[in-house]
C-alpha cells in the first residue's frame, strides 16, 4: 500500500515537488516558532527562587559625593527605615543583584577538576532572604557571625555547588578559590550556605551558577558608590502609591537631594513578561496566518487533483474499491508527501543544535521537531479530508462518462 | 487587448470562488505584513517633522577610547566637555548641537505617580530639529549661556502635569528643580529615540559636573550644508578629536586612541539591527579610513538583511500561489487549446496569464492597503510605540505597488509557462499529465 502511494507520488513528481517545498517551508516556520516558544517556556517553568509580591525596588542615585558621606547617609537611612510600620524588612544589595536587573557581573571560577565555571556574582546584605524569600537548603544566610570572618563569606546556589563541588556534595565550610588567568589566587571564599535558586534576572533567564558575597554598609572595603545603590523593601500587603510618595520625600529629605526611584517588583515582572509575550504573539500570529494560507492552498490543490483524477478513481470504484479505500488513498498520498517534506525539514532543523545556532538543549529541539511534525500531519489530514470525502463519492459511471 | 484580458481575468475569478478567496487571502496577508513592516521602517528612516533636515544631519552617540596596545577599552557616550570644547568649534557644518541621552524621573501628583523623560540640550538643537511649537518658543542662546531654568515640554507632558496645554510661564518640576515652561511642542514619536523626550532643558542647568566630563551621556548632532559635505565634516571632526587628547582626564591619559564616529541616520538605524564591527585594528593608523568603512558597510548590510527577510517571507505565499495557479490551469485547458489553434503564440499566452495574475495581486494589494491602514491607526492609538504617527505615505504605497508586481509576476510566471506549453490537440481533448 505505502509502496504504491510512493509510486503514485513519484509519477507526478513535477507537480508534487512544489507542494513538497511548500510543506517543507511550513515545517520550518512552525519549527522556528515552536523552538523559540519552548526555549522561553522551559526557563519560565523553572522556579525563580524569589517572591515578587509586596516587594519594592528602590534605586538611589547621588551626584559626586565622597564615599564617607554616602556611607554615613546610607547607614542613617538603614537605621531610620525601621521606624516605618509599612516596611517589614529592608535589604541593601548591588544593582546587579536585584530582581529583574538588566545587568550582570560574572567571572570564571575554576574548580579542582580544572573546569571553568562561568559564575554570576551578587552582593547582598543579611536581610536579603527575609525580603525576597529565597530558600536556604544548606547552612545559613549571612548574619552577624560573618562580621570580621577570616575568609570572605559567601552563599552559593545549587547550580554552583553541583558544578564546583559535584552533585549533592555538601558545600558548607568549604573554600572556593578565585584564580586569575595566570593561576594566582585573587580571592578565597568560604561557603556558609546554599540557596536552591535565585534567577534574579527573571523568569526567562537561564539559571547560572551564582555566588553571593556579603554586603555590609559598614564595610569600608566595599566601594559605596557603585555597589550600595539598590534597596529592596518588603512592604505590608496593600501599601500603595501614597506611602511611596511619603517614602521618597523622606529619603530625599534625609539624604539632602539624592534621586530616588521606586518600582514595585511586581510591575518590573509584569513589564518583562508582557514584553516577551508580545514578541512571541507577533511572531506566532504571523506564522499562524502563513500556515493558514498554506493550509487553504493545500486543500485547494488536493481538491483539484481529485477532480482531475476522476477517471482513475472511478475506475478503482468500478473494479471494487470501496469509498473508504478511496478516501484513505487520497489522505495517504498527502501524508506520504508530508513525510518527505518533514524528513527534509528535520535535516535542516537538526542543524540548529549541531551548529549550536541557539543556546539550547537537544530536548527542546526534539520537542519542537516532534510537535511541528505532529502539527504538519494534522494539517495535511484536515486539508485532505474534505477532498477525500468528495473523492469517495465519485461514481464509476462518472469516470466512464468522463473518458 | 488589455481590456479583454481584464474581462477574462474577472470571469475566471468569479468561476471558482473558493480559489479566488484563497489566492486573495494569501496575497493580501503577505502584502499587509510587508506594508506594516515597511511603514514602521519608513517611520524610522524618514520620520518627517521634527527631523525634516534628516538627510543633512550627522550624529555621534558612541565614544570609545583605547590605549595603543588595545589592552583597555572604554566605551560610553561622549561627554559634555569633549563636545563643547571640540565639536562646537567645527567650521564645516552649518550648525552643531549637543544634547543628552534620555533621563527619566518620577513625580507624584495627587496620589498618582507620573513618569517623565527629559533631555539636556542647547539652543541650536531647536534649529537643527524643527519641532512644531503649539505655544511659546524654544530657548535661545541667551537663556542657554545664562543657564536660565526654562523648559520646553510636549503636549503630552503638559496635559499630564497641568491638565491643559496653555501653560506658558507656569513652573514644572524636573528632577527636583523647578523650570519655567516657555514652549509647548507636539509629541515626538519614541521611534526617534535620539530626540524623543517629554521635557527639554538647557544643558547648562545640569546639576552634574558636566563641564569636566570627557565621557558621559551626550550626543552630537551636526547639520551639514549638504550631504556632499559629510566627508569633509568627518575629517574635520577627527582632527578635533585627535587634538582633544590634550584634555584627557587623569585616569584616561593612556587611552590616546579615540573613536567617535559621525553617522548618518541610515547608519544609525542599521546599527540597531547589526552591531557595528569595532574594526579598531591597532595596525590601522589612518583614522578617517576606519570611519568610512565602519559605517557604510553596515548600512548596506542592513538593507541586504531587510531585503533577504522580506524575500524569505514572500517565498512561502509565492509557492502557495504557484500551486494554486497550476491547479486552476487545468480548467482552462480548452480555452488554451482554442487560442493556440487560432494562432496565439506562447509569448502572447504567457503575457496574458501574467497580466491576469498581476490583476489578481492588485486586488489583493488594495485589500491589504485598507487592512494595513486600519492596523496602523490601531497601533498609533494603542500607545505600543509612544506618540507614534505611523501612516501609509507615498514611500509605503510605492513599496506596496512594487511588492504586488513582484508577487504577481513570480507566482504567475511558472504556471503561465507550463500552461502555454500545452499542445493544442491535447489541450482541446482536455487531458494533460
Per-residue pLDDT, B56: 92
Calculate mean pLDDT across residues B333-345.
Answer: 83
Per-residue pLDDT, B292: 37
Per-residue pLDDT, B285: 35
Same domain, B19 and B73: no
> Any idea which residue has 481529485 for its cell?
A306
Chain A partners of B33 at a C-beta cutoff of 8 Å? Answer: 286, 289
Q: What is the pTM of this model?
A: 0.79
Q: What angle do CA B289, B294, B295 make, to 5 degrees?
A: 115
Is pLDDT of A101 > 60?
yes
Mutating which of A263, A300, A403 best tests the B interface, going by the most B Cβ atoms within 10 A?
A300
Instruction: Name beta bridge partners: A61.
Output: A259
Is pLDDT of B86 > 80?
yes
Cβ–Cβ below 8 Å for A63 and B207: yes
Q: Which helix (H) or strand (E) holds A59?
A: strand A55-61
How does strand A210-214 pair with strand A152-157?
A: antiparallel
Chain A partners of B326 at a C-beta cutoff of 8 Å? Answer: 15, 18, 301
Calculate mean pLDDT across residues A271-290.
Answer: 88
Cβ–Cβ below 8 Å for B29 and A259: no
**Nearest one of B69, B41, B10, B145 to B393, comparing CA atoms:** B41
For residue B69, name the pLDDT band (cuts at 50, 70, 90).
Answer: low
- Please tell me which of the candidates B106, B113, B323 has its beta carbon nearest to residue A297: B323
Cα–Cα distances (Å) from A183 to A108, A152, B289, B297, in that order, read: 12, 19, 40, 41
Instruction: Name beta bridge partners: B64.
Output: B75, B259
Instruction: Give the number of other CB atoms < 10 A from CB of residue A107.
Output: 14
Cα torsion angle, A149, A151, A152, A153, sign: negative
User: B317 CA to chain A: closest CA distance, Å?
Assistant: 7
Domain annotation covers residue B23: yes
Chain B partners of A19 at a C-beta cutoff of 8 Å? Answer: 323
For residue range A145-189, list pLDDT tens digits in order: 888 888 889 999 999 999 999 888 899 999 998 887 677 788 889
Cβ–Cβ below 8 Å for B29 and A289: yes
**Nearest one of A370, A335, A379, A373 to A16, comparing CA atoms:** A335
Interface A:B, Cβ pairs < 8 A: 87
Same domain, B163 and B97: yes
3-state secondary structure of A233: strand
Instruction: At B190, list the grid cell.
Output: 519614541
Cβ–Cβ below 8 Å for A296 and B105: no
Is pLDDT of B70 > 80?
no
Eight-state DSSP code of residue B103: E
Same domain, B422 and B326: yes
Residue B226 CA neighbour count, 13 Å, CB half: 1
> Any idea which residue has 500561489 for its cell?
B321
> Any idea which residue has 540557596 for its cell?
A195
For residue range A177-226, list pLDDT tens digits in order: 888 767 778 888 999 999 999 998 889 888 899 999 998 888 777 665 55
Instruction: At A385, list the grid cell.
Output: 479530508
| Structural domain boundaries, residue B231 | 62-262
User: A260 CA to chain B: closest CA distance, Å?
Assistant: 8
Cβ–Cβ below 8 Å for A248 and B108: yes
CB under 8 Å to B300, separation ≥6 — which residues? none
Nearest CA in chain A to B26: A293
Per-residue pLDDT, A136: 94
Domain annotation covers residue B292: no
> Based on the structure, what is the number of domains in chain B?
2
For residue range B343-361, list pLDDT tens digits in order: 888 888 888 888 888 888 8
Cβ–Cβ below 8 Å for B108 and A241: yes
Domain annotation covers residue B290: no
Least confident among A136-140, A260-264, B47-51? B47-51
For residue B183, name the pLDDT band (cuts at 50, 70, 90).
Answer: very high
Same domain, B91 and B230: yes
Same domain, B119 and B9: no
For residue A358, name the pLDDT band (cuts at 50, 70, 90).
Answer: low
Same domain, B16 and B152: no
Is pLDDT of B407 > 90?
no
Cβ–Cβ below 8 Å for A305 and B327: yes
Chain A partners of B319 at a C-beta cutoff of 8 Å? Answer: 18, 21-22, 25
Per-residue pLDDT, B95: 95
What is the spatial distance between Cα A309 and Cα B161, in angstroms, rounded to a whole number? Answer: 73
Per-residue pLDDT, A167: 86
Nearest CA in chain A to B207: A63
Cβ–Cβ below 8 Å for B317 and A25: no
Same domain, B109 and B205: yes
Same domain, B232 and B115: yes
Question: What percent of chain A is predicted at pLDDT more than 90?
Answer: 37
For residue B124, name the pLDDT band (cuts at 50, 70, 90).
Answer: very high
Eight-state DSSP code of residue B400: H
The length of chain B is 433
The length of chain A is 403
Chain B partners of A298 at a C-beta cutoff of 8 Å? Answer: 323
Per-residue pLDDT, B275: 57
Instruction: Please answer whether residues A386 and A327 qualify as being in contact, where contact means their C-beta atoms are separated by less than 8 angstroms.
Output: no
Per-residue pLDDT, B52: 86
Is pLDDT of B150 > 90?
yes
What is the spatial distance between Cα A380 and Cα A390, in angstroms, rounded to a whole number? Answer: 16
CB under 8 Å to B402, separation ≥6 — which residues? none
Is it true that the peptide bond before B124 is cis, omega within 30 degrees of 0? no
Instruction: Please answer whether residues B190 and B27 qualify as being in contact, where contact means their C-beta atoms are separated by less than 8 angstroms.
Output: no
Instruction: At A126, list the grid cell.
Output: 543579611
Cβ–Cβ below 8 Å for B317 and A304: no
Is pLDDT of B59 > 90?
yes
Is pLDDT of B151 > 90?
yes
CB under 8 Å to A67, separation ≥6 — which residues? A220, A223, A224, A225
Nearest CA in chain A to B109: A245
B203-232 residues touching A, CB cutoff 8 A: 207-209
Domain annotation covers residue B134: yes
Per-residue pLDDT, B198: 94
Question: What percent of chain A is predicted at pLDDT more than 70?
Answer: 95
User: B238 CA to chain A: closest CA distance, Å?
Assistant: 31
Domain annotation covers residue B286: no
Is pLDDT of B246 > 50?
yes
B320-339 residues touching A, CB cutoff 8 A: 320-324, 326-328, 330
Same domain, B126 and B194: yes
Cα dihedral value B399, B404, B406, B409, nearest 10: -160
Same domain, B177 and B205: yes
Domain annotation covers residue B295: no
Instruction: Please answer whether residues A156 and A178 qualify as being in contact, where contact means their C-beta atoms are separated by less than 8 angstroms.
Output: no
Cα–Cα distances (Å) from A351 to A16, A363, A366, in that order, read: 26, 14, 12
Cα–Cα distances (Å) from B58 to A251, B82, B189, B222, in that order, read: 42, 17, 19, 5
Domain annotation covers residue B156: yes
Per-residue pLDDT, A222: 67
**Residue B69 vs residue B366, higher pLDDT:** B366
Cβ–Cβ below 8 Å for B320 and A293: yes
Calculate mean pLDDT across residues B91-110.
Answer: 89
Per-residue pLDDT, B276: 52
Is pLDDT of B289 > 50?
no
Q: Kindly report the backbone phi and psi dihedral angles of residue A86, in degrees, each rounded to the nearest multiple of 5, phi listed first.
A: -70, -25
Establish whether this prediction's ipTM goes over 0.95. no
CB under 8 A, 24+ apart: contacts of B365-371:
B365/B27, B365/B28, B365/B31, B365/B400, B365/B401, B365/B403, B365/B404, B367/B24, B367/B28, B368/B27, B368/B28, B368/B29, B368/B30, B368/B31, B368/B32, B368/B35, B368/B400, B369/B31, B369/B35, B369/B397, B369/B400, B371/B28, B371/B32
What is the spatial distance between Cα A94 and Cα A257, in angstroms, rounded to a whole number? Answer: 21
Same domain, B391 and B258: no
For residue range A47-71, list pLDDT tens digits in order: 999 999 999 999 888 877 788 888 8
Distance from CA of residue B19 to its chain's centroid? 37
Indicate left, alpha or beta for A257 from its phi (over 0: left) and psi (-120 to 50: alpha).
left
B175 interfaces chain A, CB cutoff of 8 Å: yes
What is the spatial distance between Cα A49 and Cα A199, in angstroms, rounded to a whole number? Answer: 6
Same domain, B162 and B202: yes
Domain annotation covers residue B97: yes
Mean pLDDT, rounded, of chain A:
87
B178 interfaces chain A, CB cutoff of 8 Å: no
Per-residue pLDDT, A25: 92
Eight-state DSSP code of residue A135: P
Cβ–Cβ below 8 Å for B19 and A300: yes
- Please tell me which of the candidates A293, A299, A300 has its beta carbon nearest to residue B317: A293
- Please tell me which of the candidates A25, A293, A308 has its beta carbon nearest to residue B29: A293
Is pLDDT of B284 > 80?
no
B311 interfaces chain A, CB cutoff of 8 Å: no
Is pLDDT of A79 > 60?
yes
Question: What percent of chain B is predicted at pLDDT more than 70?
Answer: 91
Is pLDDT of B309 > 80?
yes
Instruction: Please answer whether residues A122 and A94 qualify as being in contact, where contact means their C-beta atoms are separated by less than 8 angstroms.
Output: yes
User: B157 CA to chain A: closest CA distance, Å?
Assistant: 19
Per-residue pLDDT, B290: 37
Calculate mean pLDDT across residues A32-48.
Answer: 90
Per-residue pLDDT, A224: 58
> Could you tell me the residue ranges of all domains in chain A?
2-46+271-402, 55-236
Amino acid at each position: 500500500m505505502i509502496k504504491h502511494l510512493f509510486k503514485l507520488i513519484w509519477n507526478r513528481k513535477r507537480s508534487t515537488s512544489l507542494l513538497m517545498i511548500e510543506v517543507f517551508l511550513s515545517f520550518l516556520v512552525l519549527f522556528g516558532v515552536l523552538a523559540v516558544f519552548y526555549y522561553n517556556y522551559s526557563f519560565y517553568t523553572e522556579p525563580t527562587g524569589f517572591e515578587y509580591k509586596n516587594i519594592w525596588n528602590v534605586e538611589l542615585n547621588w551626584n559626586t559625593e565622597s564615599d564617607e558621606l554616602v556611607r554615613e547617609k546610607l547607614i542613617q537611612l538603614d537605621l531610620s527605615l525601621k521606624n516605618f510600620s509599612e516596611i517589614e524588612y529592608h535589604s541593601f544589595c548591588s544593582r546587579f543583584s536585584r530582581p529583574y536587573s538588566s545587568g550582570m557581573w560574572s567571572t570564571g571560577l575554576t574548580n579542582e577538576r580544572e573546569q571553568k565555571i562561568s559564575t554570576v556574582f551578587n552582593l547582598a546584605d543579611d536581610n536579603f532572604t527575609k525580603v525576597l524569600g529565597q530558600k536556604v537548603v544548606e547552612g545559613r544566610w549571612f548574619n552577624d557571625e560573618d562580621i570580621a570572618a577570616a575568609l570572605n563569606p559567601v552563599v552559593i546556589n545549587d547550580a554552583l555547588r553541583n558544578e564546583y563541588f559535584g552533585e549533592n556534595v555538601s558545600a558548607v565550610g568549604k573554600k572556593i578559590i578565585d584564580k586569575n588567568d595566570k593561576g594566582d589566587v585573587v580571592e578565597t571564599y568560604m561557603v556558609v550556605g546554599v540557596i536552591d535558586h535565585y534567577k534574579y534576572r527573571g523568569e526567562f533567564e537561564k539559571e547560572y551558577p551564582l555566588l553571593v558575597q556579603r554586603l555590609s554598609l559598614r564595610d569600608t572595603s566595599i566601594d559605596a558608590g557603585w555597589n550600595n545603590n539598590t534597596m529592596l523593601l518588603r512592604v505590608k500587603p496593600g501599601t500603595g502609591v501614597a506611602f511611596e510618595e511619603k517614602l521618597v520625600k523622606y529619603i530625599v529629605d534625609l539624604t539632602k537631594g539624592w534621586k530616588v526611584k521606586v518600582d514595585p517588583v511586581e510591575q518590573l515582572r509584569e513589564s518583562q513578561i508582557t514584553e516577551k509575550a508580545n514578541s512571541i504573539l507577533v511572531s506566532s500570529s504571523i506564522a499562524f496566518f502563513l500556515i493558514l494560507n498554506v493550509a487553504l492552498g493545500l486543500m485547494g490543490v488536493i481538491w483539484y487533483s481529485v477532480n482531475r483524477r476522476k477517471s482513475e478513481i472511478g475506475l478503482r470504484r468500478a473494479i471494487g474499491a470501496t469509498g473508504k479505500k478511496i478516501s484513505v488513498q487520497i489522505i495517504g498520498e498527502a501524508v506520504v508527501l508530508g513525510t518527505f517534506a518533514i524528513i527534509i525539514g528535520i535535516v535542516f532543523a537538526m542543524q540548529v543544535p549541531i551548529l549550536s545556532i541557539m543556546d539550547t538543549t537537544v530536548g527542546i529541539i526534539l520537542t519542537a521537531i516532534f510537535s511541528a511534525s505532529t502539527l504538519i500531519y494534522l494539517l495535511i489530514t484536515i486539508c485532505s479530508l474534505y477532498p477525500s470525502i468528495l473523492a469517495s463519492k465519485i461514481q464509476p459511471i462518472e469516470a466512464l462518462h468522463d473518458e | 487587448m488589455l481590456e479583454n484580458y481584464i474581462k477574462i481575468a474577472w470571469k475566471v475569478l468569479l468561476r471558482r470562488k473558493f480559489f479566488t478567496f484563497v489566492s486573495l487571502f494569501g496575497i493580501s496577508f503577505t502584502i499587509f505584513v510587508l506594508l506594516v513592516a515597511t511603514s514602521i521602517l519608513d517611520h524610522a528612516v524618514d520620520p518627517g517633522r521634527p527631523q525634516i533636515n534628516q538627510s543633512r544631519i550627522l550624529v555621534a552617540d558612541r565614544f570609545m577610547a583605547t590605549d595603543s596596545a588595545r589592552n583597555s577599552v572604554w566605551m560610553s557616550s561622549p561627554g559634555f566637555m569633549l563636545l563643547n570644547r571640540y565639536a562646537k568649534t567645527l567650521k564645516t557644518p552649518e550648525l552643531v548641537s549637543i544634547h543628552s541621552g534620555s533621563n527619566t524621573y518620577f513625580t507624584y501628583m495627587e496620589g498618582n505617580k507620573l513618569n517623565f523623560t527629559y533631555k539636556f540640550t542647547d539652543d541650536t538643537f531647536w534649529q537643527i530639529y524643527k519641532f512644531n511649537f503649539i505655544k511659546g518658543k524654544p530657548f535661545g542662546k541667551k537663556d542657554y549661556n545664562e543657564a536660565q531654568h526654562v523648559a520646553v515640554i510636549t503636549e503630552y507632558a503638559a496635559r499630564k502635569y497641568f491638565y491643559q496645554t496653555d501653560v506658558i510661564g507656569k513652573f514644572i518640576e524636573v528632577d527636583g528643580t523647578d523650570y519655567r515652561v516657555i514652549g509647548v511642542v507636539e509629541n515626538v514619536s519614541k521611534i526617534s529615540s535620539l530626540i524623543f523626550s517629554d521635557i527639554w532643558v538647557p544643558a547648562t542647568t545640569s546639576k552634574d559636573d558636566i563641564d569636566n566630563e570627557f565621557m558621559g551621556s551626550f550626543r552630537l548632532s551636526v547639520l551639514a550644508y549638504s550631504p556632499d559635505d559629510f566627508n569633509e565634516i568627518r575629517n574635520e571632526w577627527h582632527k578635533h578629536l585627535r587634538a582633544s587628547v590634550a584634555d584627557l582626564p587623569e585616569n584616561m591619559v593612556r587611552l590616546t586612541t579615540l573613536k567617535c564616529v559621525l553617522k548618518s541616520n541610515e547608519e544609525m538605524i542599521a546599527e540597531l539591527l547589526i552591531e557595528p564591527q569595532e574594526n579598531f585594528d591597532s595596525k590601522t593608523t589612518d583614522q578617517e579610513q576606519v570611519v568610512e568603512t565602519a559605517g557604510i558597510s553596515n548600512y548596506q548590510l542592513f538593507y541586504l538583511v531587510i531585503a533577504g527577510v522580506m524575500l524569505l517571507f514572500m517565498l512561502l505565499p509565492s509557492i502557495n500561489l504557484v500551486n494554486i495557479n497550476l491547479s486552476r490551469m487545468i480548467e482552462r485547458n480548452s480555452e488554451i487549446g482554442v487560442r493556440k489553434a487560432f494562432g496565439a503564440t506562447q509569448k502572447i499566452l504567457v503575457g496574458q496569464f501574467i497580466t491576469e495574475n498581476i490583476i489578481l495581486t492588485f486586488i489583493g494589494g488594495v485589500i491589504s492597503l485598507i487592512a494595513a491602514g486600519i492596523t496602523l491607526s490601531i497601533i498609533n492609538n494603542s500607545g505600543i510605540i509612544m506618540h507614534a504617527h505611523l501612516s501609509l505615505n507615498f514611500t509605503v504605497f510605492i513599496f506596496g505597488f512594487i511588492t504586488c508586481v513582484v508577487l504577481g509576476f513570480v507566482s504567475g510566471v511558472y504556471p503561465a509557462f507550463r500552461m502555454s506549453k500545452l499542445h493544442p490537440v491535447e489541450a482541446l481533448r482536455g487531458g494533460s499529465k
